[in-house]
Amino acid sequence: MDPRVTRSGNPGLNEKIFASQPRPAIGSERMTLQGSINKSFLLLVVLMAGAFWPWSQYLSTGDASVVSTSVLVGALGGLVLALVISFKATLAPYLAMPYAALEGLAIGGISALLERRYPGIAIQAVGLTFGVLAVMLFAYKMQWIRATERFRAVVIGATGAIALVYLVSMVLGFFHVNVPVLNDASPLGIGLSLVIVGVAALNLILDFDLVESGVAQGAPRYMEWYAAFGLLVTLVWLYMEILRLLSKTRRS
């Protein structure tokens, strides 16, 4: 096994999924880097198309109830499909695009709500997300940032800690207990958001490395869809955290 294929902070991209896939028969189609890039681009197009409907509906009516259903369906449906794909990679070719569409509904509605309150915030978040993606990809290709074992351990540990904080916050929310540092516009709250954005960005390095390793191992062709799905998971997380950060700076 390629030593780089160990683990990833992204639940959609990890060693067990790639290593557990059967090796393609001689002469059969295998995963390629170009194929993974093409499918990643396609999922982004589907996500943006899904985001357009709640975005246009809310900005034209100003009625928050118009997008509430879209956000709820998109968030819950996207979570269910993400879990299914994560445990059954062979379904990625069939479920990756529905997942992207559902995520589009969710982030389109959330973005529209924030856009109404803070004009221009959505396009700033989109620009920063793609900017971070480009910088991380360039740094990875230039080998300025390498996915060493120590790097993986730090990023995965930080990602796990963030997930735990969000889980605790969600549980406390059921009891009407707020965790102000996650959402307030204080220097500490903004600093925390910057750290989370940084961790999300570093997860892109792990994603790039694992996709490249899957190609090197000759993973089955359907893993291109799985790789594209995993990368989209990270990009959605990065976008939402940048959106949260920008909203905090507008309130400060």
What does residue 184 show for φ and ψ, rounded to 5 degrees?
A: -80, 165
Q: Are residues 97 and 42 in contact, defined by beta-carbon separation less than 8 angstroms?
A: yes
Q: What is the CB neighbour count within 10 angstroms for residue 131?
A: 11
Instruction: Return mean pLDDT, the chain.
Output: 86
Q: Say yes or no to pLDDT of 25 above 70.
A: no
What is the 8-class DSSP label of residue 91?
G
Q: Are residues 12 and 36 in contact, defined by beta-carbon separation less than 8 angstroms?
A: no
Within the chain, residue ranges assigned H as helices are 15-20, 33-61, 65-87, 92-117, 121-141, 149-174, 180-183, 187-217, 223-251
Cα–Cα dist 89/221, whole Å: 11
Cα–Cα dist 242/168, whole Å: 21
pLDDT band of 3, cuts 50, 70, 90: very low
Flag whether the pTM goes above 0.85: yes
pLDDT band of 233, cuts 50, 70, 90: very high
* The predicted structure's pLDDT at residue 4: 38
Note the pLDDT tens digit of each residue in 163-216.
998 888 888 877 777 777 777 888 888 999 999 999 999 999 999 988 888 888
What does residue 220 show for φ and ψ, rounded to 5 degrees?
A: -60, 155
- Domain ranges across the chain: 29-251
Residues sharing a CB contact under 8 Å with residue 86, sequence separation 6 or more, in sequence order: 11, 12, 17
| Residue position matching structure tokens 């992207």 | 100
Note the pLDDT tens digit of each residue in 73-119.
999 999 999 999 988 889 999 999 999 999 999 999 999 989 888 99
Enter the tokens of residue 160.
Answer: 């796990």
* The predicted structure's pLDDT at residue 23: 59
Q: Say yes or no to pLDDT of 227 above 80.
A: yes
Does residue 240 or residue 30 have the better pLDDT? 240
Angle at 194 between CA 191 and CA 199, to 5 degrees: 130
Does residue 103 or residue 3 have the better pLDDT? 103
Cα–Cα dist 123/126, whole Å: 5
| Residue position matching structure tokens 């968030």 | 75
